[in-house]
């Protein structure tokens, strides 16, 4: 036998590394079924060099919406909950806000007025609460809120309402040399305060809405200040535009949950070669919420109507998610 004290462990380690042992299930929080099979099958095909659908690692770009896809979005977007809390916290320093309808409605907790808020009102609130501070100040305020604010229904931190199956999917894709990106309508700086810790997604792979910003030069302590003017509203057709601007490659996998993600899914799944589009359908009133066509937030109409014809997978939260939220 040519096996020695040195030889045995080295050879054994090498053998163990090379042998095809059955891997542990990388998606334990997904129930077995068509959705999980479609995901695993897609990943197997694009990573197998002998498969005609193989894609080199550089091409393995996966994009994810955030609100309603990676974490919950009800009763309203968590960033709006943050902004409303900021209005209340800052109100005494800003008596002039009583002259602005949207801000006054929040200060007076006028639920009827708030229920009718559209984009102009949201912009007024974002301009008041997000602008005029440095990026660092904004992120500190957002982080403080995320570390303490609790969701009204679940009495957990908002940040704990991330979806465990989605976190497993992100990790599974990265283990297969995918780049995982967030492409969200939420504010980019807000998202970055949690993206790395919650999802393992570094700041440079977070694309979101943004305000204009301004650099203020200083020889020892320059700052970047958020301005009230909008930069990019990263929703609908702007998502593919921002994917092009930030990533510069067409993704091969896209995962969303509302019609705001429709164009991102269309852009992703109409390129050459193997592609996968997925929509998370919120159909689980018991563990989360059930909403689609008639919802003010996360409205899903075209996605439901066209998913089948376009070959997109409708992921059912009720059927496909073994567990929903990450934290206990």
Residues near a copy of itself (CB under 8 A) are 2-7, 10-11, 14, 58, 135, 179, 188-189, 192, 202-206, 210, 213-215, 217-222, 224, 231, 237-241, 244-249, 263, 266-267, 270, 310
Closest to a copy of itself by CB, 22 vs 248, is 248
Closest to a copy of itself by CB, 165 vs 251, is 251
Closest to a copy of itself by CB, 62 vs 106, is 62
Cα–Cα distance, 146 to 149 (Å, whole number): 6
223-230/211-216 β-pairing: antiparallel
Minimum CB–partner distance for residue 221 and a copy of itself (Å)? 6
Closest to a copy of itself by CB, 107 vs 206, is 206
Minimum CB–partner distance for residue 8 and a copy of itself (Å)? 9
Closest to a copy of itself by CB, 33 vs 237, is 237
Minimum CB–partner distance for residue 15 and a copy of itself (Å)? 11
Minimum CB–partner distance for residue 210 and a copy of itself (Å)? 6
- The DSSP 8-state label assigned to residue 218 in this structure reads -
The pair of structure tokens assigned to 67 is: 């609100």
Minimum CB–partner distance for residue 277 and a copy of itself (Å)? 12
Minimum CB–partner distance for residue 321 and a copy of itself (Å)? 29
Closest to a copy of itself by CB, 2 vs 21, is 2
Minimum CB–partner distance for residue 23 and a copy of itself (Å)? 26
206-209/211-216 β-pairing: unpaired
Q: Taking the CA atoms of 315, 321, 324 and 327 in sequence, report the sign of the dihedral they define.
A: negative
Which residue carries 């492409």 as its tokens? 183
Q: What are phi and psi of 276, to 5 degrees?
A: -140, 125
Q: Is 308 exposed, middle or buried (0-12, 13-18, 19+ CB in 10 A)?
A: exposed
Q: What are phi and psi of 18, to 5 degrees?
A: -90, -25
Minimum CB–partner distance for residue 213 and a copy of itself (Å)? 5
For residues 194, 198, 204, 210, the Cα torsion angle rounded to the nearest 10 degrees is: -40
Among the listed residues 226, 268, 230, the one whose alpha carbon sits nearest the alpha carbon of residue 249: 268
Which contiguous run of DSSP H or E holds residue 233?
A: none
The pair of structure tokens assigned to 195 is: 């993206």
Q: Is 316 exposed, middle or buried (0-12, 13-18, 19+ CB in 10 A)?
A: middle
Q: What are phi and psi of 91, to 5 degrees?
A: -60, -40
Closest to a copy of itself by CB, 70 vs 107, is 70
Alpha helices per DSSP H over the chain? 7-18, 34-47, 78-90, 101-107, 111-115, 119-130, 135-146, 164-175, 188-199, 238-246, 262-269, 302-310, 317-320
Closest to a copy of itself by CB, 86 vs 250, is 250
């Amino acid at each position: 036998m040519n096996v020695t004290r040195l030889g045995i462990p080295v050879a054994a380690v090498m053998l163990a590394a090379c042998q095809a042992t059955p891997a542990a299930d990388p998606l334990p929080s997904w129930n077995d079924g068509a959705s999980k099979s479609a995901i695993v099958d897609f990943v197997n095909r694009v990573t197998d060099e002998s498969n005609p659908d193989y894609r080199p690692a550089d091409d393995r770009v996966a994009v994810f919406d955030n609100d309603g896809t990676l974490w919950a979005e009800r009763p309203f977007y968590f960033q709006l909950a943050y902004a409303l809390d900021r209005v209340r916290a800052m109100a005494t320093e800003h008596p002039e806000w009583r002259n602005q309808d949207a801000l006054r409605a929040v200060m007076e907790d006028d639920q009827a007025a708030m229920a009718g808020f559209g984009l102009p009102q949201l912009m007024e609130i974002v301009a008041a609460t997000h602008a005029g501070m440095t990026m660092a100040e904004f992120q500190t305020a957002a982080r403080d809120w995320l570390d303490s604010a609790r969701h009204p229904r679940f009495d957990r931190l908002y940040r704990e309402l991330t979806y465990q199956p989605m976190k497993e999917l992100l990790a599974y894709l990265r283990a297969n040399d995918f780049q995982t990106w967030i492409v969200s309508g939420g504010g980019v700086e807000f998202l970055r305060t949690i993206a790395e810790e919650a999802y393992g997604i570094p700041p440079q792979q977070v694309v979101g809405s943004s305000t204009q910003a301004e650099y203020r030069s200083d020889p020892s302590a320059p700052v970047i200040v958020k301005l009230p003017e909008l930069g990019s509203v990263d929703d609908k057709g702007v998502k593919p535009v921002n994917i092009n601007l930030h990533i510069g490659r067409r993704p091969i996998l896209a995962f969303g949950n509302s019609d705001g993600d429709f164009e991102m899914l269309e852009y992703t799944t109409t390129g050459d070669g193997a592609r996968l589009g997925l929509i998370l359908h919120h159909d689980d009133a018991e563990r989360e919420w059930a909403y689609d066509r008639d919802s003010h937030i996360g409205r899903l109409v075209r996605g439901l109507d066209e998913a089948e014809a376009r070959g997109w997978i409708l992921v059912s939260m009720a059927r496909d998610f073994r567990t929903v939220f990450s934290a206990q």
